[in-house]
Structure 1
Amino acid sequence: MSRSIPAHGRTASSDRALWLWSQFLLDSFAWIVAIVLAVYLRYEMQLSGLRLPGILVLCGIAIASQFAVGSAFALYKGRYSFGSFHEAKLLVIVTVSVSAILTVALLFFGISMSIARGTGLIAFPFACLFMAAIRYVKRMYVESKAKPGDQAARTLVYGAGFVGKSIVTRMSSDPESPWLPVGLIDDDPAKKHLRIASVPVLGRMEDLPDIVARTNATVLLIAIANVDAKQVRRISDVVVGLNIKVLVVPPLKDMLTGGSEFSFREVAIEDLIGRQPVDIHVDEIADYVKGKRVLVTGAGGSIGSELCRQINDFEPAELIMLDRDETGLQTTQISLTGRGLLNGKDTVLADIRDATALSDIFLDRQPEVVFHAAALKHVSLLEQYPEEAWKTNVLGTLNVLNAARAANVQTFVNISTDKAANPTTVLGHSKRVAEKITAWVARESGLKYVSVRFGNVLGSRGSVLPLFNEQIRHGGPVTVTDADATRFFMTIPEACQLVIQAGAIGRGGEVLILDMGEPVRILDVAQRMIAMSGKDVDIVFTGLRPGEKLHEDLIGAGEDDSRPLHPKISHACIAALNPVQMSLEEWKNRQHLAASGDVAETAK
C-alpha cells in the first residue's frame, strides 16, 4: 500500500535542496568571474582569443574542484548556520584548496593552456571575496525578513554588555517578537559607536529624554544582570514624564534555563528599595540538610514556604511541613510537587501551642534538623492581645524546643526579628524571650540550637508593601507612621538563605544577624509606589504606634558584633533564660520597663 508524503514536508525539503544547489551555482559563477578577472589583471588588462580555451578549461577545473572539496567539507549540506563564522572559516578552507588545485594544474599544463601559472593564486582572493559577498547579501536579506513587524513596541535597551547583546540579537531575528530594538544605551564611553545586530548605541542614561524623542520608543528594557536598586532608582527618576514603560530582565540563570521566551517584567518596588543581595554561598555549606529528615514549622507562611522550597533543592531524606493553616500547607505543597492533595506524610496539621501533639509528632517522625518559622508577627494586633504573643511566640517556641530536644534533634534554627533587639513592642519582647530560651536549651544540651535575626522581608505577609498596594488600589490614602521612620528590608529568598546558613555556621546559643545595609525611609517607599501606580493618592501620617520605634536596631545593647566567618554576618551572644524562671507576669513587667525607656534593663 502506498503512502502519500505530506505536501509541506516535500516542499520544505525541496526548497532547502534548491537553495543549496543555487548556492553552488553562485559559487561557481564567483570562480568564473574571479578567473577571468585574474587573467585580465595578469596580462595587463589585455585578453587574447588564444587564451579563451584555457580560461574555459580552468573554469571547469575550478567548478569541479569547488563541488568536490565543498562536498567533502559538507559546505553544501546545510551543516553550518548560514553566514556564520563557522561557515566563513570553512569557505576560506575550501577556496584555498581549490586555488591550490588550480595552481598545481597550471604548473603542469599552464603552457599548453596559454595561462600564467600564478593565475590560480591571483584568483583566490577574488573568489573568496565574491562568495563571502553573496552570503552576506543573503544574510542581510534573511535578517530583514526576520525583524519584528510594525506592531512591535519600539524598545530601547539599557546595557550593551553580554545580556544586552544577547537580547538585542534575539529580538532582531524573531519576527514574532513583541519588541523592536531601536537603540542601546550604555554609560561606557568606549561603547559610544558600537552596533549590535545593526542596532546602535545612542548615548548614555543622561541622554535618555532626547533619545526617546528621536526614536519614539515606548519601552525601556534594563538589560543588566543583577542590577542594584540604586541604579534602578536612578533610571526610574530619569524616565519620569517620558511616558515610557520600564522593564527589567530576569536573573541570567533563569534566562538560560527558562525556555524560548524572555520573561521581562515591569519594575517592582522591590527593585527600587532593595539592595544587592549578600552572597553567602549557601550551596557550599548546606550539606547538613542533604539526606536528613528536616522539619519546618510555619511551613504555610511566606518565610516557611520559601524555606521549604529551598530546602527541597538540597535533597533531604524527608521534608516534614508543619502548620496549623491547612490552606497555607496546601499552597506550599502545590509549589513543591504540583499537587495539593494533602494526603501524604510531608504535611502535618498541628499547632505549636499543643505540647503533647508536638511531642508525639517529633518522637514519631524523628527529625534531625528543625527550622522554627511559626509565629505571630503583626505588631498592632499583638499590642492589643499580648497574651496571644506569649502563648505562640514564647510558649509555642518552648514546646518546639522541648520536643526537638526529646527527639535528639541535632540542629535547630529559630527565626527571630530585628524587633527583638532592644525590644519596645509585644512582638519584640516575645521574640527576645524566644531567642533566650533557645540559647538556654543550646547551653544545657550542647547542641547547635541558634536564632536568626533580620528586618522586614519584602513581600512577606504583614509587611508594609502589600498594605500600601491595597491602599493605592482603593485610591488611598496611604498611611505612614512618621516622615522620618526607617526600616531594614531584604528579600524572602535572601532571608531563607540566611536561615539555612545559620544551621551550618552558627554555634549553639548564638543569634546570627545579617548586615542589611542602609535602612530605607518608609515615606520614600510610599512615594515611589504611588509614582509607579500613576494614580493621584494622598499620604497621611498617623504617628508612631505604642512601642513602635522610629528606627529599628539589628544589634541590641550589650550585644557584640563579632563576624568570625562572614564579613556580612554577625554572631551575637545573648543571655540564656531558664524557662522555669519565666512567667507571663515577669514578661509583662519587662514590657512596662521598656515603655518607661529602660532599654538596658529590658535587654537583659
Structure 2
Amino acid sequence: MTSGTTSSLPRTASSDRALWLWSQVLLDAFAWIVAIALAMVLRYEASVDPDKLPGVVAICALAVAAQVAVGSALALYRGRYSFGSFHEAKLLVIVAVSVTVIVTVALLFFGIPMGIARGVGLIAFPFACLFMAAIRYLKRMYVESKAKPGETAERTLVYGAGFVGTSIVTRMSNDRLSPWRPVGLIDDDPAKKHLRISSVPVLGTVEDLPEVVRRTGATVLLVAIANVDAKHVRRISDTVAGLNMKVLVVPPLKKMLTAGANFSFRELAIEDLIGRQPVDIHVEEIAHYVTGKRVLVTGAGGSIGSELCRQIHEFAPSELIMLDRDESGLQATQISITGQGLLTGQDTVLADIRDPRAVSDIFRSRRPEVVFHAAALKHVSLLEQYPEEAWKTNVLGSLNVLNAAREAGVQTFVNISTDKAANPTTVLGHSKRVAEKLTAWVAHQTGRKYVSVRFGNVLGSRGSVLPLFTEQIRKGGPVTVTDPEATRFFMTIPEACQLVIQAGAIGRGGEVLILDMGEPVRILDVARRMIELSGKDIDIVFTGLRQGEKLHEDLVGDGEDDSRPLHPKISHASIEPLDPSDMSLQEWKDRQHLPGPPAAAELAGPARPLTPHPEVAP
C-alpha cells in the first residue's frame, strides 16, 4: 500500500503539468481566434459580412493548427522554459511570427476566393502576441501570489540592488516558507531610485534608512553585497544604530553559488566591522609548490596553524603532517579536515619543538618538502613575566625546527612572525625578531627558500582581543582597554593564512614578507562596537599600557624596505641574518633590561655550542 501511494505522487504532478500545458494550447488557440476576429473588424471598419464567415473560420483553423504545430516543434508546449520567463516570451514571439507568415502566405494564394484581405494576418499578429503574453503574465502573477512569504515573516529591507540583492529578493518573494519578506531595497546608486525587483521597490540610499524603516516597519536589514568592505559595513551599522533593527549579511558569493539551498544569512559580527576585503591569491603559484608535496605544519592545533592546515588541504598535498604538543588542538584540527578525530593516522604528530631530538627524528623519517612554522608562545604579558619561556620556544624551538628542516632537505620554509618583531619593545617581539634572523641565516647557508612572514592581530585567534572582549561582555563587564588611543592592525584568520601560503610561493630566501594589514583600528572602537552588537550596557575601563607595549604597532621596522614587486599586499624586506653561535640568552635579556640569572637553556642550541657575542642585536 505504501509503495503504491508513493508512486502515485509523481503521476499526479505529471498529470497537473500536462493539464496546464494542454490548457495553454487551448488558450493560445483562443488568442488567435480573437486576434483574427479583431483584425477583421479593424480591416473592414466594423462592417459584418456573413459571406466572409467561412473564410474567417478557415483562417482561424489554419492559425490554430500552425500555432500548435510550430509551438510543439519548437518545444513551446513541452515545459522546457520557466513559465513567464524572458526565454519563453522570446520563443513565443518566434512562434507567432511563424504562424503569421503561414497565414499571410495562405491569404496571398486563397484570400481572394475566400473574400479575406491579405493583410489580416499581419494585423492579427500584434494582438495574438499581446493576448498570449497576457495569459502567461496573469498565470505568473497568480503563481507568485501563492508563493509569497506569509504575514508572520519578518519585514526585511535589502541593501544592494545589484546581482546578489536582485537574486535574493526574487528568491524571498517566491518562497512562501521564507522567514523574511522583502518590503524594500536600499541602494546608493541614484539611477536605481525607482527600480522595482519582483514588485519590491528601491526606496532610497543608506542616508534614507531611518525614514524608510519608519515607513515600512522593517525589523531586519540584509546587507546583500558580495564581499562588502568593513568601511561600508561600519557606515551601515552606524546608520541603523538606535533603529532596533537586526542586521544580517550574506555569505561569500562562492558559498552561495556552491551551497544551493543550504546557505543562510548570518548576523553582523565584529569581523565584518573591522575585517577587510578577501585577498586575491595566485592559485597557480600555490599549487606549484604545495600540490603533490609533503607539507608539515608546526603548531597545527592553534588558530593560525589549524586554518593553514585546512587551506593547504584544499591544494591536495601528497601528505599533510600536522605537528603540535597540544593533543586536543590536533584532534580539533583533524576533525575540521577529515570529519574524524581518531588520531590514529600518520597525519597527526604529537611533539614539542623544544625537543631537538624528537623534531629531528620526525623530519628525518617523514621527509617534508614544505614547512610552515606556526608554533610559538605569543601572550605578551605572560612572556614579560617569563622571558626564558619565550627564549626556549620562540628562539630555541624555532632553531630546532630550522636545523631539522635543513638536515631533511626542506626546500620551502615559512616562519610565521608578528608585527611586534618590527622595532621590538616586548619579550615576544624580541624573541620573534631572533627567529626571523635565524630563518634568514639558514636561508643564506642553504640557498633555499626560507622566509618569514610578519602580520598583526588576527581576529578570533586565541589570545586576541575579540575572545577577551566577548567573555568580558558575557559576564556583564567591564571591558578593559589599555589606552583610548591605542591602535592595532587586524585581519581575519583566513586572510592571514591565504597570504602566508602566498608568501611561500613568492618569497626569496632570507626575506621577511610583511602582509599589508590596511589601516590600524582603535582598540576602543572595537570594544564599543562589540558592546553595541551585544545590546548590553557595559562599562569600559582603561588599564594603561603594559610593560613594553606600544601605543601604535609597526609593520615595517626602521631601515626595512617596503617594496612590493610581486604582490600588492606583500612587502619584501631584507633582514640581517644571525648565526646561532652568536646567540646568548643573557645578552638577549640584557638588551631588554630583564632581571634574573641565565637559565640552563642558555646553551641549549642543538646545532653547535652557543656563546655570547657582542654583535647580537635581536
Displacement of 1:174: 1.1
Contact 1:421 1:603 in 2 (8 A): no
AA matched with 1:241:
G
Displacement of 1:477: 0.4
AA matched with 1:291:
G
AA matched with 2:143:
V
CA 79–282 in structure 1, closer or farther in 2 if over 3 Å, else same:
closer
Residues 369-380 of structure 1: pairs in structure 2 closer than 5 A? 369-380=370-381
Displacement of 1:371: 0.6
Residues 373-412 of structure 1: pairs in structure 2 closer than 5 A? 373-412=374-413
Name the CA distance, whole Å, in 2 between partners of 1:578 and 1:70. Answer: 83
SS at match of 1:260: helix
| TM-score of the two chains, using structure 2 as the length reference | 0.94
Q: Which residue of 1 aligns with 2:537?
A: 536
CA 365–6 in structure 1, closer or farther in 2 if over 3 Å, else same:
closer
Q: Which residue of 2 aligns with 1:157?
A: 158
Displacement of 1:133: 0.8
AA matched with 2:429:
G
Query: Is 1:493 matched up with 2:487?
Result: no
Name the CA distance, whole Å, in 1 between partners of 2:209 and 2:570. Answer: 39
Query: Is 1:219 matched up with 2:189?
Result: no
Name the CA distance, whole Å, in 2 between partners of 1:258 and 1:77. Answer: 30
Query: Is 1:15 matched up with 2:22?
Result: no
Residues 178-257 of structure 1: pairs in structure 2 closer than 5 A? 178-257=179-258
Contact 1:436 1:574 in 2 (8 A): yes
SS at match of 1:587: helix
Q: Which residue of 1 aligns with 2:93?
A: 92
Which structure 2 residue ranges, 5 or more long, are not aligned? 596-614
Name the CA distance, whole Å, in 2 between partners of 1:271 and 1:251. Answer: 12
Name the CA distance, whole Å, in 2 between partners of 1:512 and 1:282. Answer: 18
AA matched with 1:226:
N
Name the CA distance, whole Å, in 1 between partners of 2:67 and 2:279. Answer: 59
Displacement of 1:358: 0.8
Query: Is 1:302 matched up with 2:319?
Result: no
Name the CA distance, whole Å, in 2 between partners of 1:602 and 1:246. Answer: 53
- Which range is displaced more, 256-265 or 19-28? 256-265
Q: Which residue of 2 aligns with 1:121?
A: 122
AA matched with 1:571:
H
AA matched with 2:328:
T
Contact 1:557 1:603 in 2 (8 A): no
AA matched with 1:273:
I
Name the CA distance, whole Å, in 2 between partners of 1:539 and 1:235. Answer: 24
Displacement of 1:593: 8.2
Q: Which residue of 2 aligns with 1:572?
A: 573
Q: Deviations over 1:308-329 (max 9, x none)?
A: 1111111111111000111111
Q: Which residue of 1 aligns with 2:173?
A: 172
Residues 20-59 of structure 1: pairs in structure 2 closer than 5 A? 20-59=21-60
Name the CA distance, whole Å, in 2 between partners of 1:357 and 1:263. Answer: 46
Q: Which residue of 1 aligns with 2:447?
A: 446
Q: Which residue of 2 aligns with 1:272?
A: 273
Displacement of 1:219: 0.5
- Which range is displaced more, 527-536 or 47-56? 47-56
Q: Which residue of 1 aligns with 2:427?
A: 426
Name the CA distance, whole Å, in 2 between partners of 1:5 and 1:424. Answer: 73
| TM-score of the two chains, using structure 1 as the length reference | 0.96
AA matched with 1:60:
A
Contact 1:394 1:431 in 2 (8 A): yes
Displacement of 1:564: 2.5
Displacement of 1:11: 2.0
Displacement of 1:253: 0.8
Q: Which residue of 2 aligns with 1:135?
A: 136
AA matched with 2:236:
I
- Which range is displaced more, 262-271 or 340-349? 262-271
- Which range is displaced more, 526-535 or 54-63? 54-63
- Which range is displaced more, 561-570 or 376-385? 561-570
Displacement of 1:567: 3.5
AA matched with 2:185:
L
AA matched with 2:297:
V
Q: Deviations over 1:567-589 (max 9, x none)?
A: 33221212211111212111111
Q: Which residue of 1 aligns with 2:554?
A: 553
Contact 1:593 1:602 in 2 (8 A): no
CA 279–67 in structure 1, closer or farther in 2 if over 3 Å, else same:
closer
Aligned residues: 597
SS at match of 1:37: helix
Across the aligned residues of Structure 1 and Structure 2, the Cα RMSD in angstroms comes to: 1.7
Contact 2:279 2:499 in 1 (8 A): no
Displacement of 1:496: 1.0
Q: Which residue of 2 aligns with 1:505?
A: 506
Q: Which residue of 1 aligns with 2:458?
A: 457
CA 18–532 in structure 1, closer or farther in 2 if over 3 Å, else same:
same
Contact 2:334 2:341 in 1 (8 A): yes
Q: Which residue of 1 aligns with 2:600?
A: none
- Which range is displaced more, 92-101 or 186-195? 92-101
Contact 1:590 1:602 in 2 (8 A): no
Which structure 1 residue ranges, 5 or more long, are not aligned? 595-600
Runs of 4+ in structure 1 over 6 Å off: 2-5
Name the CA distance, whole Å, in 2 between partners of 1:14 and 1:49. Answer: 42
Name the CA distance, whole Å, in 1 between partners of 2:48 and 2:207. Answer: 62
Name the CA distance, whole Å, in 2 between partners of 1:567 and 1:112. Answer: 80
